[in-house]
């Protein structure tokens, strides 16, 4: 069946309205546009420090007014244009800020003083992930970019936790175990081994019959949910065959660290061209009790996980195609509570690195009370008088531009409505 | 269509009355502006215009601005109740014509009052004229433009509608017009598989054949007495409450302070009757079963209430918990209740029981005027309180939030109000949650309920704070009523008594049942008023709300017998919708029908039960290695099921289809014909060719489809043709090979136990057919 014929049939059946995404996916799968090498990149990895990180122990240090107990103002370190909290002597394992910024500071773009407007986990996680506070419908950035660039890839949007809404644009894939990948990749073989269930000609006939059935149903009279789900099902099964490409990139040994385990799955999927974006996540940052102990354990673990991803990406020769976003749903208060913990704080930070992002730069700032300082949208310089309060919608607007999806129909479907004079200029260069 | 005609007639009458009544009022209110309107008000043309305006008011002004923005404060209960602009609320916004007429009049009045040459309505919404609510619309917003057009229209001497794309040629029919429903026999299969994990019995099929839809009701009564239903019920409610999601060993639910001597009873259990080498293993097993039994308790409470048709309000008010012989030992009450068990060795036999007021290690006994622990259903179970823990700064607010979500259907965090600057608010006010308007709006509701849980510590154990409850929070209570000091010892009971009387409680319970049956939450009102299908989405939302309210009324009338809610939802068009009589091309109609029908990806647990029902045994992998991969939950970190299949899930579907066909087809042919589950009407020697053989093959295909997919097609149906071509094509391809093995493969042909001969390749061809069928939408979706 030609693309035109298929389009016509889909259109006649209203499929384009009911399921624009899967309509595209199915088209692509049917026409076998997934080349042997798969999706070529760029790949997007979003690290989530789930629970709310203490930015003052990372990229936005404060050494005054008892905001921190582990260092003073004079201890704050500088790496290029970055100011970082000195934590090396307070950590037992993982990677220190000192090492992380020494290694990646020249590539890192840091944004401080991000206003979330609220300070509860659920809305903050949603806001950071989607750029939209007051809607449950919006997709997260990794889901959106996966939908725009390759919804037909079998693991287009891979998630290991955190807020993962898809806006119904792309299915969400959970692959928690590395071993599972091999089984999935060899779905037509007994136990994922070398013995196929069916002779090749039988498999071919089954696939052809399924394809014919799908085509026949396009002209049926169906409820929108039925149309949509039939398309999704067909796409899921048809596209899943591309998982075979993952096999050569599955590491032989299981990593011990929780982020490394996620990295291995994501990297194998990236390298195989079956994944566009991955939501990587570690939790327990919500340090209402004993903030310093928890953050000194978790921040180094997060940084070590990022380092692990980047090192392995280098080995797989996809480092130059890997965009990394490092975020958390909120910051922590500039004071300690009675349990030596810190509570939720609506001022946050975010970091980026990857191809097309000029590093060694910090945008925005907070003052000595950890309140944000407005920035000029045009110059990104501090502008107390005419500046704007940078919020997630501003960042997501810039991210959409960066990923070249801002004009895609899916992005239009979920507009961020940033006023023209608030659009951040030259965020990445 | 009748509904629509009646509605239009009523609208016309209301408009006529309104025009006659209001014209004089207009003269008084706005002077010369309104005078012109009186001239032609009696003409039929004017009635038609106003009829159009009333519809327009409902679809535009009311739906997009009034209901969403103004009504929040301008109603009889809220901040603006003393203002001159008081609107009416209704449970049925689409059809409550009296409400619409009142609100239309109120808007017209405000629109036509003019100061400084501008309508008061337009000045107020942007924060002018000291509007108490400040600016609620931006001057360039869609909402403001809608009001602007409304004012122009209202002020217009001719009353002409202002057409700027705000009217739509789409005239909706009755909501389910043209939607086809599942025939009763297929509805029966859906409910037996969904709720009891089995296929319909012959008797049930006969009953439905004779009684149609009416027979389903009594069959449901029967299904809801089966144990399998309670497995499904508990699974469904765990998806909501997640109470099995306890990370620590379950015995830690029982506090060290109160159950120190009993909670670890399994560690001293006597295994002397076993060989020494087996004792350690037996001890581990005992601990595992005990922990499992503890985790199940809250869901067993639900099962007990429903099974015994007790009021489901006991979810909050039950003055008992469920204990098994194992868990009763943990609580230290085994000797008191052991005689009530039918089998005291069964770790999963549950009975209702009460705990005595808890006694701490220091000898202090929990305050209780009855001598009993003040049980309040889920609200006082250690599981629920542990699953939603607290911290020194959270102060039980998570528990309060979950209470609102689970018991009243209110998700407080769903659309959190944006503060202008949350960090500045936090810095400015000593107690922002009590002083800053941005915070108070939610905390005035949440914090009192948080205080109700004050006697429970962070982990959900009984353990009041040494310093008493926090003074910098709104006092403990519920919806404006303070918790009396004399009730504090039984605070959760006090809360429960009020909860179950709240009108939102039955609605929330029906929404839970809807979630269990349809696998998704009820619709939320549409948000985007610029969406061209906003009106249709709103209609879909309101129609569903109407259904939920109707079912809730039935639930309430039945003294909260939850079975009634299941039966009522199954009977609705929302559950039975199956297709459309003709293609629905209009985008508005598509939007209206977008969420109609079950169309639910079957969960891993359900899939196991379905495979068991059809093939006589479970596959096993959906509940083990593929559970999370196939979109299941672990109740701790993964708490929401995947509703749509990813590529990974597509791969699992292929594995399942391959493997289940492999495990069943060859062995089925190996059995005597009379004992076969799939191929009782055909032998492997039958190949396509002569008419009789072809007929036999087609009949077998139809039987397979009926058994596996639940529908029976005519022998000459295109889909039967397709499967016939698949079967015959495989055999043709095989015969074209130089040679092939004359037997099934080792893996699919009996392995070590036997060999399935396949000299014609028909067994493998039938395996191909079954593989194909198992990958169908009709098999994988409910």
Handedness of CA A372, A376, A379, A382 (dihedral sign): negative
- Looking at the complex, does the CB of residue B728 fall below 8 Å from at least one CB of chain A? no
- A72-98 mean pLDDT: 97
- A137-157 mean pLDDT: 93
Asked if B596 lies within 8 A of A225 by C-beta distance, the reply is: yes
Task: Report the residue of B601, B651, B713, B769 to disrupt the A interface, i.e. the one with the largest count of A CBs within 10 Å.
Answer: B651
Residue B44 has a pLDDT of 44
Residue A121 has a pLDDT of 87
| Model confidence at B371: pLDDT above 50 | yes
Q: What is the pLDDT of residues B21-52, one digit of tens each?
A: 333 333 333 333 333 333 333 444 444 444 45
What is the interface size between A and B, counted as CB pairs within 8 Å? 262
Residue A221 has a pLDDT of 76
Q: Please tell me the distance in Å from A209's CA to the nearest CA on chain B.
A: 7
Q: How far apart are CA B211 and CA A60, in angstroms?
A: 72
| Model confidence at B782: pLDDT above 70 | yes
- Looking at the complex, does the CB of residue B518 fall below 8 Å from at least one CB of chain A? no
Distances (CA, A) of B247 to A291, B237, B243, B293, B762: 22, 19, 11, 15, 51
Residue B172 has a pLDDT of 86
Q: How far apart are CA B11 and CA B258, in angstroms?
A: 66
Q: What is the pLDDT of residues B657-696, one digit of tens each?
A: 999 999 999 999 999 999 999 999 999 999 999 999 999 9
* Cis amide leading into A42 (omega within 30): yes
Asked if B765 lies within 8 A of A137 by C-beta distance, the reply is: no
Place of tokens 């990958």: B775
Asked if A197 lies within 8 A of B642 by C-beta distance, the reply is: no
Asked if B580 lies within 8 A of A176 by C-beta distance, the reply is: no
Q: What is the pLDDT of residues B120-147, one digit of tens each?
A: 999 999 988 888 878 889 888 899 999 9
Residue B426 has a pLDDT of 78
Q: Please tell me the distance in Å from B525's CA to the nearest CA on chain A.
A: 11
- Looking at the complex, does the CB of residue B410 fall below 8 Å from at least one CB of chain A? no
CB nearest to B422's CB, from A119, A166, A338: A119
Residue B733 has a pLDDT of 97
Cα dihedral value B284, B289, B293, B299, nearest 10: 120
- Looking at the complex, does the CB of residue B216 fall below 8 Å from at least one CB of chain A? no
CB nearest to B648's CB, from A118, A154, A226: A154
Q: Which residues of B touch A176 (CB under 8 A)?
A: 628-629
The CB-based long-range contact list for B128-135 (8 Å cut-off, 24+ gap) reads B132/B73, B132/B79, B132/B80, B132/B83, B133/B72, B133/B73, B133/B79, B133/B80
Residue B130 has a pLDDT of 86
Place of tokens 């007990």: B304
Of A32, A27, A33, A34, the residue nearest A214 (C-alpha): A27
- Looking at the complex, does the CB of residue B441 fall below 8 Å from at least one CB of chain A? no
Task: Give start and end residues of each alpha helix (H) in B40-130.
Answer: 44-56, 97-112, 120-125
Residues in chain B: 782
Q: How far apart are CA A244 and CA B413, in angstroms?
A: 42
- B161-169 mean pLDDT: 53
Q: Count other Cβ atoms within 10 Å, centred on residue B375.
A: 22
Task: Report the residue of B648, B713, B741, B778 to disrupt the A interface, i.e. the one with the largest count of A CBs within 10 Å.
Answer: B648
CB nearest to A116's CB, from B422, B590, B719: B422
Q: Which residues of A touch B179 (CB under 8 A)?
A: 223
- Higher pLDDT: B161 or B32? It is B161
A92-101, B195-204, B440-449, B502-511: least confident range: B440-449
Q: How far apart are CA A338 and CA B393, in angstroms?
A: 9
Q: Which residues of A touch B622 (CB under 8 A)?
A: none
A323-337, B104-118, B554-568: least confident range: B104-118
Q: Please tell me the distance in Å from B308's CA to the nearest CA on chain A.
A: 36
Asked if B583 lies within 8 A of A237 by C-beta distance, the reply is: no
Q: How far apart are CA B199 and CA B612, in angstroms?
A: 10
Asked if A175 lies within 8 A of B629 by C-beta distance, the reply is: yes
Average pLDDT, chain B: 89
- B698-723 mean pLDDT: 97
Question: In 3-state terms, what secondary structure has residue B745?
Answer: coil
Task: Report the residue of A130, A131, A154, A187 to disrupt the B interface, i.e. the one with the largest count of B CBs within 10 Å.
Answer: A187
Task: Report the residue of A38, A132, A155, A225 to disrupt the B interface, i.e. the one with the largest count of B CBs within 10 Å.
Answer: A225
Place of tokens 């070398």: A194
Residue A306 has a pLDDT of 98
- Classify residue A126 by burial, with Cβ atoms within 10 Å: 0-12, 13-18, 19+: buried
- Classify residue B682 by burial, with Cβ atoms within 10 Å: 0-12, 13-18, 19+: buried
Q: Count other Cβ atoms within 10 Å, centred on residue B676.
A: 15
Residue B706 has a pLDDT of 96
- Higher pLDDT: A75 or A289? It is A75
Q: What is the pLDDT of residues B55-69, one digit of tens each?
A: 788 888 999 999 888
- Looking at the complex, does the CB of residue B627 fall below 8 Å from at least one CB of chain A? no
> Could you tell me the pLDDT band of residue B12, with boundaries at 50, 70 and 90?
very low
Task: Report the residue of A67, A232, A244 to disrupt the B interface, i.e. the one with the largest count of B CBs within 10 Å.
Answer: A232
Q: Please tell me the distance in Å from B55's CA to the nearest CA on chain A.
A: 27
Q: What is the pLDDT of residues B321-350, one digit of tens each?
A: 999 999 999 999 999 999 999 999 999 999
Quote the percentage of chain B above a pLDDT of 90. Answer: 72
CB nearest to B655's CB, from A187, A216, A225: A187
Q: How far apart are CA B25 and CA B34, in angstroms?
A: 9
What is the token pair recorded at A77? 């370190």
- B135-164 mean pLDDT: 80
CB of B53 within 8 A of CB of B161? yes
- Looking at the complex, does the CB of residue B245 fall below 8 Å from at least one CB of chain A? no
What is the token pair recorded at B41? 């008000």
- Put residue A168 in one of left, alpha, beta given phi > 0 → left and psi -120 to 50 → alpha: left
Asked if A171 lies within 8 A of B393 by C-beta distance, the reply is: no
Average pLDDT, chain A: 89
Quote the percentage of chain A above a pLDDT of 70. Answer: 91
Q: Please tell me the distance in Å from B311's CA to the nearest CA on chain A.
A: 33
The helix (H) or strand (E) run that includes residue B462 is none
- A55-76 mean pLDDT: 95
- Higher pLDDT: B637 or B411? It is B411
- Looking at the complex, does the CB of residue B620 fall below 8 Å from at least one CB of chain A? no
- Looking at the complex, does the CB of residue B682 fall below 8 Å from at least one CB of chain A? no
Asked if B579 lies within 8 A of A242 by C-beta distance, the reply is: no
Task: Report the residue of B423, B520, B602, B720 to disrupt the A interface, i.e. the one with the largest count of A CBs within 10 Å.
Answer: B423
> Could you tell me the pLDDT band of residue B581, with boundaries at 50, 70 and 90?
confident
Of A14, A58, A149, the residue nearest A332 (C-alpha): A58
Asked if B642 lies within 8 A of A171 by C-beta distance, the reply is: yes
- Looking at the complex, does the CB of residue B775 fall below 8 Å from at least one CB of chain A? yes
| Model confidence at A33: pLDDT above 70 | no
Distances (CA, A) of B165 to A252, B170, B173: 62, 12, 21
Q: What is the pLDDT of residues B248-291, one digit of tens each?
A: 899 999 999 999 999 999 999 999 999 999 999 999 999 999 99
- Put residue A156 in one of left, alpha, beta given phi > 0 → left and psi -120 to 50 → alpha: alpha
CB of A17 within 8 A of CB of B587? yes
CB of B603 within 8 A of CB of B632? yes
- Classify residue A323 by burial, with Cβ atoms within 10 Å: 0-12, 13-18, 19+: buried
Considering only alpha carbons, which residue of chain A is nearest residue B737?
Answer: A201
Q: What is the pLDDT of residues A110-119, one digit of tens each?
A: 999 999 988 8
Task: Report the residue of A226, A284, A373 to disrupt the B interface, i.e. the one with the largest count of B CBs within 10 Å.
Answer: A226
Q: Which residues of B touch A339 (CB under 8 A)?
A: 391-393
Q: How far apart are CA B112 and CA B128, in angstroms?
A: 16
Asked if A154 lies within 8 A of B650 by C-beta distance, the reply is: yes
Q: Which residues of A touch B587 (CB under 8 A)?
A: 17
Q: Please tell me the distance in Å from A333's CA to the nearest CA on chain B.
A: 9
Considering only alpha carbons, which residue of chain A is nearest residue B724?
Answer: A209
Residue A133 has a pLDDT of 86
- Looking at the complex, does the CB of residue B58 fall below 8 Å from at least one CB of chain A? no
- Looking at the complex, does the CB of residue B593 fall below 8 Å from at least one CB of chain A? yes
Helix axes B276-307, B227-241, angle to 10 degrees: 90
In the 3-class helix/strand/coil scheme, how is B596-609 assigned residue by residue? Answer: CCCCCECCHHHHHH
- Looking at the complex, does the CB of residue B77 fall below 8 Å from at least one CB of chain A? no
- B390-412 mean pLDDT: 92
Asked if B583 lies within 8 A of A14 by C-beta distance, the reply is: yes
> Could you tell me the pLDDT band of residue B625, with boundaries at 50, 70 and 90?
confident
Q: How far apart are CA B665 and CA B685, in angstroms?
A: 15
Q: Which residues pair with A324 in a beta bridge?
A: A45, A353
Residue B414 has a pLDDT of 67
Q: How far apart are CA A126 and CA A205, in angstroms?
A: 45
Considering only alpha carbons, which residue of chain B is nearest residue A166?
Answer: B644
- B453-481 mean pLDDT: 95
Asked if A223 lies within 8 A of B722 by C-beta distance, the reply is: no
CA A193 to chain centre: 32
């Amino acid at each position: 069946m030609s693309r035109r014929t298929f389009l016509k049939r889909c259109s006649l059946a209203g499929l384009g309205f009911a399921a624009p995404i899967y309509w595209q996916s199915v088209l692509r799968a049917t026409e076998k546009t997934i080349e042997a090498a798969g999706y070529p990149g760029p790949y997007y990895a979003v690290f989530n420090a789930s629970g709310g990180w203490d930015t003052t122990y990372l990229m936005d240090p404060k050494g005054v007014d008892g905001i921190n107990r582990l260092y003073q103002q004079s201890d704050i370190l500088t790496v290029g244009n970055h100011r970082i909290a000195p934590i090396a002597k307070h950590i037992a394992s993982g990677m220190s800020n000192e090492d992380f910024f020494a290694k990646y500071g020249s590539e890192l773009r840091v944004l401080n003083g991000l206003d979330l407007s609220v300070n509860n986990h659920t809305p903050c996680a949603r806001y950071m992930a989607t750029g939209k506070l007051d809607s449950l419908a919006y997709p997260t950035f990794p889901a959106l970019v996966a939908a725009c660039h390759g919804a037909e890839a079998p693991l287009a949007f891979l998630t290991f936790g955190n807020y993962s809404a898809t806006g119904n644009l792309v299915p969400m894939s959970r692959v928690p175990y590395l071993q599972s990948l091999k089984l999935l990749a060899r779905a037509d073989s007994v136990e994922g081994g070398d013995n196929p269930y069916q002779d090749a000609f039988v498999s071919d006939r089954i696939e052809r019959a399924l394809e014919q059935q799908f085509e026949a149903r396009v002209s049926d009279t169906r409820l929108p949910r039925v149309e949509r789900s039939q398309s999704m099902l067909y796409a899921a099964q048809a596209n899943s065959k591309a998982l075979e490409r993952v096999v050569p990139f599955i590491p032989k040994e299981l990593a011990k660290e929780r982020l490394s385990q996620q990295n291995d799955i994501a990297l194998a999927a990236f390298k195989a061209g079956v994944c566009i974006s991955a939501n990587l996540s570690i939790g327990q940052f919500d340090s209402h009790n004993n903030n310093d102990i928890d953050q000194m354990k978790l921040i180094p673990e997060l940084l070590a996980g990022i380092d692990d991803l980047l090192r392995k990406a280098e080995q797989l020769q996809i480092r130059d195609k890997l965009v990394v976003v490092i975020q958390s749903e909120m910051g922590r208060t500039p004071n300690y509570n009675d349990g030596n913990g810190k509570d939720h704080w609506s001022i946050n930070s975010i970091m980026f690195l990857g191809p097309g992002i000029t590093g060694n730069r910090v945008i925005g700032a907070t003052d000595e009370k950890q309140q944000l300082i407005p920035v000029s949208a045009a110059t990104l310089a501090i502008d107390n008088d005419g500046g704007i309060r940078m919020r997630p919608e501003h960042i997501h607007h810039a991210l959409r531009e960066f990923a070249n999806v801002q004009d895609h129909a899916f992005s239009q479907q979920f507009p961020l409505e940033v006023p023209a004079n608030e659009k951040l200029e030259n965020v990445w260069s | 269509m009748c509904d629509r005609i009646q509605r239009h007639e009523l609208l016309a009458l209301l408009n006529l009355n309104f025009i006659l009544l209001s014209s004089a009022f207009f003269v008084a209110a706005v002077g010369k502006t309104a005078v012109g309107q009186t001239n032609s008000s009696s003409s039929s043309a004017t009635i038609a215009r106003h009829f159009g305006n009333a519809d327009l008011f409902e679809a535009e002004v009311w739906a997009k601005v009034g209901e969403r923005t103004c009504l929040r404060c301008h109603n009889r209960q809220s901040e603006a109740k003393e203002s001159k602009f008081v609107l009416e609320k209704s449970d049925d916004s689409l059809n409550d014509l009296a409400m619409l007429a009142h609100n239309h009049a109120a808007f017209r009045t405000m629109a036509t009052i003019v100061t400084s040459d501008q309508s008061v309505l337009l000045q107020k919404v942007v924060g002018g004229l000291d509007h108490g609510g400040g600016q609620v619309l931006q001057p360039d917003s869609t909402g403001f433009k809608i009001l602007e057009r409304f004012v122009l229209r209202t002020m217009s001497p001719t009353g002409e509608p202002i057409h700027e794309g705000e009217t739509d040629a789409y005239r909706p029919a009755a909501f389910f017009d043209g939607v086809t429903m599942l025939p009763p026999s297929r509805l029966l299969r859906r409910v037996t598989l969904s709720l009891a994990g089995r296929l319909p019995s012959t008797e049930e099929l006969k009953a439905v054949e004779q009684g149609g839809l009416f027979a389903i009701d009594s069959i449901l009564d029967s299904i809801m007495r089966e144990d399998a239903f309670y497995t499904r019920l508990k699974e469904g409610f765990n998806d909501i409450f997640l109470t099995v999601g306890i990370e620590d060993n379950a015995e830690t639910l029982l506090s060290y302070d109160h159950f120190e001597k009993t909670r670890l009873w399994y560690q001293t259990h006597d295994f002397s009757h076993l060989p020494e080498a087996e004792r350690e293993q037996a001890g581990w097993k005992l601990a595992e079963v005990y922990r499992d039994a503890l985790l199940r308790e809250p869901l067993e409470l639900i099962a007990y209430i429903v099974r015994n048709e007790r009021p489901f309000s006991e979810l909050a008010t039950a003055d008992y918990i469920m204990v098994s012989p194992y868990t009763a030992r943990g609580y230290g009450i085994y000797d008191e209740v052991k005689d009530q068990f039918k089998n005291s060795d069964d770790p999963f036999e549950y009975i209702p029981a009460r705990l005595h007021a808890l006694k701490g290690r220091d000898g202090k006994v929990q305050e209780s005027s009855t001598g009993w622990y003040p049980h309040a259903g889920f609200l006082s179970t250690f599981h629920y309180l542990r699953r939603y823990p607290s911290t020194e700064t959270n102060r039980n607010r998570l528990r309060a939030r979950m209470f609102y979500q689970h018991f009243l259907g209110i998700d407080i965090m769903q659309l959190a109000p944006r503060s202008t600057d949350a960090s500045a608010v936090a810095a400015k006010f000593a107690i922002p949650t009590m002083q800053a308007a941005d915070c108070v709006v939610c905390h005035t509701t949440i914090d009192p309920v948080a205080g109700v849980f004050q006697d429970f510590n962070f982990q959900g154990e009984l353990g009041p704070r040494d310093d008493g409850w926090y003074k910098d929070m709104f006092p403990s209570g519920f919806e404006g009523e303070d918790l009396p000091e004399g009730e504090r010892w039984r605070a959760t009971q006090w809360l429960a008594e009020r909860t179950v009387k709240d009108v939102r409680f039955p609605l929330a319970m029906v929404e839970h049942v809807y979630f269990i049956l349809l696998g998704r939450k009820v619709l939320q009102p549409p948000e985007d008023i610029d969406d061209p299908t906003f009106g249709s989405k709103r209609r879909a939302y309101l129609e569903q709300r109407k259904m939920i309210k109707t079912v809730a009324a039935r639930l309430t009338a039945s003294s909260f017998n939850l079975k009634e809610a299941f039966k009522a939802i199954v009977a609705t068009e929302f559950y039975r919708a199956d297709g459309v009589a003709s293609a629905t091309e209009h985008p508005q109609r598509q939007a209206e029908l977008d969420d109609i029908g079950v169309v639910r990806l079957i969960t891993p647990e359900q899939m196991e039960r379905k495979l068991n029902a059809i093939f006589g045994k479970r596959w096993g992998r959906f509940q083990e290695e593929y559970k999370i991969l196939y979109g299941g939950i672990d109740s701790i970190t993964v708490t929401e099921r995947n509703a749509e299949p990813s590529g990974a899930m597509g791969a699992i579907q292929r594995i399942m289809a391959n493997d289940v066909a492999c495990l069943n087809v060859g062995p089925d042919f190996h059995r005597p014909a009379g004992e076969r589950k799939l191929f009782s009407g055909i032998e492997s020697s039958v190949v396509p060719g002569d008419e009789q053989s072809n007929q036999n093959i087609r009949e077998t295909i139809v039987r397979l489809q009926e058994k596996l997919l639940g529908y029976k097609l005519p022998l000459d149906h295109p889909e039967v043709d397709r499967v016939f071509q698949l079967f015959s094509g495989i055999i043709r391809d095989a015969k074209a090979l130089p040679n092939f093995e004359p037997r099934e493969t080792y893996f699919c042909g009996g392995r070590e136990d036997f060999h399935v001969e396949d000299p014609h390749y028909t067994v493998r061809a039938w395996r191909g057919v079954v593989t194909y069928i198992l990958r169908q939408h009709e098999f994988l979706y409910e």
